[in-house]
Structure 1
Amino acid sequence: MFGNLDTGDEAHKYITIEKAAKDYPISKLCTLFKVSRSGYYAFLKRRGADRDRDAKALVKKVYEQYNGVYGYRQIQLFLQHDHGVWMNHKKVLRLMQVLGIRSQIRRKHRCNYASSTKGRVAKNLLKQDFKADKPNQKWVTDITQYRVGDCWLYLSAIKDLFNNEIIAYQMSHRNDNELVLQTFRQAWKQQKDVTGLIVHSDQGFQYTSHAYHDMLPKVGARISMSRRGNCYDNASMESFFSHLKTEGLYPYDIRNMDGAQRRIEEYIRFYNQCRPQRKLNKLPPKEYRKQLIA
């Protein structure tokens, strides 16, 4: 069956042993071929490492391409979306551990916003149901801030829960009602029919203002608000801001407002067009929307 056992080098013998290992004990095969078991297992280990060489190179390439901010699950999505390579998430994790690379850990968000004690407060219509069956069914909105030196930059954004796309955003040095109103004016220009839309926010003073409550019903939108002091009611929007800062701001040395605004604009464009999401059939938001509507 094995032919002349004395012919061939050790590598050839190891390959033959591997093929026959399903039917015979390893120890007897090694004795038969006059090789050590430790040598055989070392051969398997070396060959396994060589087998992963291309996979490790690709994982490292994707990791470095995105500035080392992503963990194994998101890298798995980039491997499929950018390179057409589907790799088991456990394998991606193992290769990252072998390479000694890891993601940047997102900072824990503290629920420290101040609710308004004046103005109008609406009921919580969303009730933490962050799924939507079609565009313009459910939007979430909020404001976040980013410090540059001694100044603050404020970002107001709106996310469509159908595909998690940021459909409108505005930035300002002032955190006021006009920042929010400008964001919605931008959204109305892009979305023609929003009748029946639920727009969910926290109870910040901008969202309890009379101007805000006058603007939304005029286009047929319904206002929904988180319970007072409960940031989990708007967790989807909080999650986006966390990703924005961890992936698009904190890794960079940003020294002025222009630089911060540019990074935010670049990240939102990347998030909408290039960043695949597991909940969106492993597609970026805009690609998912085009595929579902086509």
Structure 2
Amino acid sequence: MVTNLESGGLQNKHIVVDELRDKRSVQELCACLGISRSGYYAYVKRKDDDPDEHLKRKIRSIYEERDKTVGYRRVQDELYRQYNLKVNHKKVLRLMQELGMQAIIRRKYIHRTSYETAVSDGRITENLLQRNFTAEGPNQKWVTDVTQFRVFDHRIYLSAIKDLWNNEIVAYHLSQRNDNPLVLETFKKAFEKQKDVAGLIVHSDQGYQYTSHAYHDMLPKVGAQISMSRRGNCYDNASMESFFSHLKVEALYPYDIRSIEEAQRRIEEFILFYNEKRAQRKLNKLTPVEYRRQLIA
């Protein structure tokens, strides 16, 4: 790998000479790059006296391999993954600063339906739930939302649906992209398990996934009604917010989660525990699944 000359200035030119000196003479390389030989040899002396030089080379390699998009946290992870090196994150940050390395933030374009267009098209609906988070039977009222959890420079998004009758999570979907398919796939899973949903009220906030054409086409086809919180009012969907809070406090925040895979595993294990093993007073100290099976029996 040849070091990129676009970042790091004079030092990177010295590094290039160092990398290519076995193929060309130092005089020729310095002339080509417009630097002095004395400056290059001064760099070599400093490098030989630097106890962190080998670590810097590994950091530089990771940084260039990832097209300069990694921050010090991800570099720290890659040092361990690629070289089995455990390096304090503060030291990685310091060395990257010395090398003039800073992550390039690439803006991701996510299409968001404009609020004004959604209103004019009738895709902002009234609040049918009115904070009445109870139901007399299954598949009468569902609440849904999306939450996120950050793992270093990455995020994992969870879309979930809860039945207000027994507080069971009837479906969920995980993704590293917060987009329409995240929500649509969640409902696809829900409708595969719950066939009789005619008259069902599905309540959400006014997020762009829930004001999309696809969402508003999907629910009426199965006989479901769309309900939405007032704009910017989280209490209108407090039941779903409560579940996400329990999940993060009990399954995520207490742990030093180092990867998206670990976060996904803990989320899935918590939802299984919540549905099948976590007794609730509202359900006469039964779990959501036990309460549902009691009805069937």
Shared fold per TM-score greater than 0.5: yes
The answer as to 2:274 corresponding to 1:265 is no
Counterpart in the other structure of 2:225:
222
Aligned length: 181
Counterpart in the other structure of 2:249:
246
Whole-angstrom CA distance in 2 between matches of 1:292 and 1:129: 22
Q: How big is the shift at 1:116?
A: 5.8
Q: How big is the shift at 1:115?
A: 10
Q: How big is the shift at 1:129?
A: 0.5
The answer as to 2:163 corresponding to 1:138 is no
Contact 2:156 2:177 in 1 (8 A): yes
The 1:115/1:228 distance shift into structure 2, 3 A limit, reads: farther
Counterpart in the other structure of 2:281:
278
One-letter amino acid of the counterpart of residue 285, structure 2: K
Q: How big is the shift at 1:292?
A: 2.5
Encode CA deviations 1:22-43: one digit per residue, 9 max, x unaligned: xxxxxxxxxxxxxxxxxxxxxx
Contact 1:115 1:202 in 2 (8 A): no
Q: How big is the shift at 1:293?
A: 2.9
Whole-angstrom CA distance in 1 between matches of 2:114 and 2:266: 31
Whole-angstrom CA distance in 2 between matches of 1:244 and 1:178: 23
The 1:115/1:203 distance shift into structure 2, 3 A limit, reads: farther
One-letter amino acid of the counterpart of residue 212, structure 2: S
Higher relative contact order (CA 8 A, sep 6+): 1
Secondary structure, in 3 states, of the residue corresponding to 2:266?
Answer: helix
The answer as to 2:192 corresponding to 1:189 is yes
Whole-angstrom CA distance in 2 between matches of 1:223 and 1:269: 27
Matches within 5 A, 1:201-216: 201-216=204-219
TM-score with structure 1 setting the length: 0.60
The answer as to 2:180 corresponding to 1:177 is yes
Encode CA deviations 1:117-164: one digit per residue, 9 max, x unaligned: 142101100000000011000000000000001011000000000100
Contact 1:116 1:203 in 2 (8 A): no
Contact 2:113 2:212 in 1 (8 A): no
Q: RMSD of the TM alignment (CA)?
A: 1.3
From 288, 291, 294, the equivalent of 1:291 is: 294
Whole-angstrom CA distance in 1 between matches of 2:114 and 2:164: 25
Contact 1:143 1:157 in 2 (8 A): yes
Secondary structure, in 3 states, of the residue corresponding to 1:227?
Answer: coil
Whole-angstrom CA distance in 2 between matches of 1:242 and 1:276: 17
The 1:290/1:202 distance shift into structure 2, 3 A limit, reads: same
Secondary structure, in 3 states, of the residue corresponding to 2:271?
Answer: helix
Counterpart in the other structure of 1:108:
none
One-letter amino acid of the counterpart of residue 262, structure 2: G
One-letter amino acid of the counterpart of residue 140, structure 2: Q
Whole-angstrom CA distance in 1 between matches of 2:152 and 2:113: 27
Misfit runs of 4+, over 2 Å: none
Secondary structure, in 3 states, of the residue corresponding to 2:128?
Answer: coil
Contact 2:113 2:211 in 1 (8 A): no
The 1:133/1:223 distance shift into structure 2, 3 A limit, reads: same
Counterpart in the other structure of 2:127:
124
Unaligned stretches of 5+ residues in structure 2: 1-111
